Amino acid sequence: MKKTNLLFLFSLLISISLSAQIKDRKLDKVIQNSLETFEVPGISVGIIKDGKIVYAEGHGVRSLKNNKPMTKETLVGIASNSKGFTCFSLAMLVDEGKLDWDDKVRKYIPEFKMPDAFVTEEFTIRDLVTHRSGLGLGAGDLMFFPEGSDFTIEDVIANMSKQDQKSAYRSSFKYNNNMFIIAGEVLHRVSGLTWEEFIEQRILQPVGMKNSKASYSRVTDKSNIIDAHTRTEGEVIHIPHDWSDLANPAGGIMSNVSDMLTWAEFLMNDAVTKKGERLLSEEQMHNLWQLQTPLPVSKENDYNTHFSGYSLGWFVSDVNGGYKQVSHTGGLLGTVTQFTMIPELDLGIVVLTNQMVGSAFSSITNTIKDSYLGYKDRNWVEKYGEKNEEWITYNDSIKTVVYKQVEKIKNKPALETSKILGTYQDDWFGEITIKKEGNELQISSARSSQLTGKLLPYSLTTYIAKWDNRSFDADVFVLFTLNEKGEASEITMKPIAPITDFSFDFEDLHFYKNETED
């Protein structure tokens, strides 16, 4: 009893401490510093504590194109924070007796197959949403990333069997978006509603998330919505929104700080709405936050963390020696977000941004979290700012060396152009074509309209694909394998710099020259 009283007193004192910081506008200064340090045009931040909103404000601008202010109502793509909604939806169907977490996927999608026959038969709904499939990081993401491909849900299901197994089934954590897309199809087949209809009708509306939509394409009023931004070749620029509706169950929801605070309050109130309606049983709400796939924890970490892992649509860990933290991040081209809850402290933190620099949301979230956990000012903006600068400099140095080599041999490629022209086929991604236009070589994808670019000589059997859309920051080595005639017969790819987003899973591709062109 004494321990409980002490914890309550400690929490109360910390809460008072943070309130004082907010009153003194110290948090405003941290956010402003983050905007400047990480070159983010706009950030909106929200805090809910003990059922009360103690902070909800926007800073900076929602777009460099119009310079309109970012507010707590500004809509942002929450990206992979949508995964928690997908799992909540599945849990609702479990409550209704329409499925079980350990049902086999083939019970609902008979055509579902994995590379291994045993895994195919054993793969469960739980496996779909816990990143333990054995496939590689981001396997198959090029089917929906970047926007503009013609892949369908049928393609996603069919192409899972064509991915390479990178580890044993259920042996390790490898983040996978396509499994959530398939989970969304299970939801559709069982409920009779599309994923988008289910999310809006069964969750967003009853919870009270009045301005949120299940996808960008369903937002009819775009008067207060961000534009995406990214740092491209040394400059932060506005870029078009980029997300395929195919991948909505993995990351499609549009929301704002006000609505996400409502979501946090609802979850920490054990899935009971403000009107007193329970949307999920206590048992299933409890299950959502139980660790399923463990993750390693460094002996040296910032929050005295002892365990970490992935639950059903959430990352879970302990912080400060015992409090459970439930969180997720999200990233699209041009925007990143973070959503954090510490239920035992009845604390929720939301940070939404319109630039793809995770250091910005981490700096703000950690500063707020520290105030409630009793840590003294650890100056996260400065700490992450230095690391971010080092990371950018490191990647830029790699690209500089690569393009110096390109410039050096641009007029004397070792491999004759005629030896590499033609169409090449990958088992799941389809065709790419290499052709000559004027004095330049062009590379393009048949199924992903944005993947077009110049092909530049680099070494004896390697070229560089320099994508026309420079915001991708994902140029790749194009490595040719030659046959006995000295002609290209195969192609593999490799990103030239580690900053390339993992969803550009070029390394998973293996192209073969179409035989008719030999």
Residues 370/373/374/377 CA torsion (nearest 10 deg): 0
pLDDT score, position 516: 67
Tell me how far apart the alpha carbons of residues 381 and 478 are, in angstroms, rounded to a whole number.
Answer: 38
Tell me how far apart the alpha carbons of residues 465 and 413 are, in angstroms, rounded to a whole number.
Answer: 15
Structure tokens at 25: 């506008």
pLDDT score, position 21: 53
pLDDT score, position 10: 47
Residues 93/99/104/108 CA torsion (nearest 10 deg): -80
Domain harbouring 492, CATH code: 2.40.128.50
Domain termination site, one of 391, 422, 452: 391
Same domain, 202 and 267: yes
pLDDT score, position 164: 94
User: CB under 8 Å to 234, separation ≥6 — which residues?
Assistant: 396
Same domain, 124 and 258: yes
397 occurs within a structural domain? no
Same domain, 156 and 206: yes
pLDDT score, position 515: 76
Q: Is 386 left (phi over 0), alpha (psi -120 to 50) or beta?
A: alpha
Same domain, 154 and 247: yes
Among 444, 481, 435, 491, residue whose Cα is nearest residue 466: 444
User: CB under 8 Å to 476, separation ≥6 — which residues?
Assistant: 464, 465, 493, 494, 495, 496, 500, 504, 506
3 occurs within a structural domain? no
Q: Which amino acid is at 251?
A: G
179 occurs within a structural domain? yes
Domain termination site, one of 336, 359, 391: 391
403 occurs within a structural domain? no
- SS3 assignment for 235-288: EEEEECCCCCHHHHHHHCCEECHHHHHHHHHHHHCCCECCCCCECCCHHHHHHH
Domain termination site, one of 358, 391, 424: 391
pLDDT score, position 6: 44
Q: What is the pLDDT of residues 135-166, one digit of tens each?
A: 999 999 999 999 999 999 999 999 999 999 99
Same domain, 431 and 382: no
Domain harbouring 358, CATH code: 3.40.710.10
Nearest-5° Cα angle at 151, 427 to 500: 75
Same domain, 367 and 437: no
Same domain, 362 and 498: no
286 occurs within a structural domain? yes
Same domain, 450 and 362: no
304: containing domain: 25-64+75-391
Q: Strands of 354-429 (E only): list them.
A: 422-426
Among 232, 228, 250, residue whose Cα is nearest residue 240: 228
Kindly report the pTM of this predicted structure. 0.94
Phi, psi (5° rounding) for residue 197? -65, -45
Same domain, 330 and 416: no
Among 229, 235, 201, residue whose Cα is nearest residue 77: 229
262 occurs within a structural domain? yes
pLDDT score, position 410: 85
What is the total count of domains within the chain?
2
199 occurs within a structural domain? yes
pLDDT score, position 234: 85
Same domain, 207 and 332: yes
402 occurs within a structural domain? no
Residues of the chain with pLDDT under 50: 1-13, 20, 23
Same domain, 381 and 417: no
User: CB under 8 Å to 298, separation ≥6 — which residues?
Assistant: none
Maximum CA extent, the chain: 82
Distance of CA 250 to the CA centre of its chain: 8
Same domain, 420 and 341: no
Kindly report whether the peptide bond that precedes residue 413 is cis, defined as omega within 30 degrees of 0. Answer: no
